Amino acid sequence: MNHGEENELTQTFDIQGGDFAHAGSVSTKIKEILKEVGIDPAVIRRASIVAYEAEMNVVMYAQKGTFTLRLTPGQIHFRIEDEGPGIPDIDLAMQEGFSTATEEMREMGFGAGMGLPNIKKNADRFLISSLVGRGTMLSVYIFLRPEENP
């Protein structure tokens, strides 16, 4: 299999913080792209859940963010960077049920403290870093074949 650059697809989307009306539209687009290139449906489903939860986090908590999809023959990579409040205690944020959501977020059906654990559960590799007052970066890999797993 050729792993050269011609087999890669990279696309970056902007996410507007607080834009609840369009929340989820980036994930919908990403799902469509993954379908078009013929990725296995079970993998698409996992990737879509990751994308949606990550996008919702940016919409709910940050001022703005970018979502970069990088697709190579072996893996799907998502990099989500936002300018926002950051996460003071990542270990705490990773616990199921821990949430700092507002009433508005809960009315959207989110903010139950399941987002980050959900992302981790569906990822093959999950990296998170955050700087309080600056923002949060998520890097998520989903492997297309088990043998890609390092």
Partner 1 sequence: MKLREIQALLKAEVVCGEEYLDKDIEYAGASDLMSDVLAFGRAGLLLITGLSNAQSVRTADIVEAKAIIYVRGKKPDKDGIELAKKKGIPLLSTRLMMYKTCGLLFSHGIAGIPESEETK
- Which residues sit at the interface with partner 1, rule CB under 8 A? 21, 23-24, 27-28, 31, 41, 45, 48-49, 52-53, 107-115, 117-118, 121
28 or 129: whose CB is closer to partner 1? 28
28 or 149: whose CB is closer to partner 1? 28
Q: How is residue 110 written in tokens?
A: 């989110």
Q: Which of 96, 82, 95 is nearest to 131 (CA)?
A: 82
Alpha carbon distance 125, 77 (integer Å): 9
CB of 22 to partner 1, least distance (A): 9
CB of 96 to partner 1, least distance (A): 9
CB of 45 to partner 1, least distance (A): 6
